[in-house]
Amino acid sequence: MYAVYNIKSVQQRITIVTLKRRKSLSKNRAKQITYLSFCLKELQCHGSEFVTNDEIRSRTGQPLLSNTVRSRRLFFFGHLHRTDPSQDHHRALQACILGPPDDWRRRIGRPRQSWLRTVEADLRQMNLGLATSKPRAQDRSAWRKLGN
């Protein structure tokens, strides 16, 4: 998997380091420079051309990072739904979905963005809710297809 870099700035970093002619580069820095020049060669880019991150992503076939994070978040949510109902994390998830008791008061100000609210927003894009997603999450293969 290739790192996504702006090619022009990578080439400038390589030339700056080589122009300084440091005799003792750290091993990690030397490895980074070698890897970046390998990436430039593999992507068939010259240092003078400006290549956008979208172009690099299309050349390498990498998906958007936000899509990868969203799919893994949904995989974990399905895993929590499939666990044994007697386990603590399953009961905590169910308590969050059902909401707090009626006699609880909310803090003043905007509510914090929690992991569960983020999952709820991801599910809303697929026309699902937190409560309605439980039967679907029980079927692992169907849930994986839904997350991709």
Taking residue 144's Cβ as centre, other Cβ atoms within 10 Å add up to: 13
Q: What is the pLDDT of residue 8?
A: 52
pTM of the model: 0.62
Written as one letter, the residue type at 12 is: Q
Q: How far apart are CA 76 and CA 137, in angstroms?
A: 10
DSSP secondary structure code for residue 48 in this structure: T
Q: What is the pLDDT of residue 21?
A: 47
Written as one letter, the residue type at 2 is: Y
**Closest CA relative to residue 94, chosen from 102, 84, 106:** 84
Q: What is the pLDDT of residue 25?
A: 61
Lowest mean pLDDT of 9-13, 84-88, 93-97, name the range.
9-13
- Per the prediction, the chain carries an average pLDDT of 77
**Closest CA relative to residue 74, chosen from 134, 127, 123:** 123
**Closest CA relative to residue 121, chosen from 52, 61, 70, 60:** 70
21 compared with 107, residue with greater pLDDT:
107
Q: What is the pLDDT of residue 4?
A: 52
Quick check: 115 and 122 in contact, CB under 8 A? Answer: no
DSSP secondary structure code for residue 110 in this structure: S
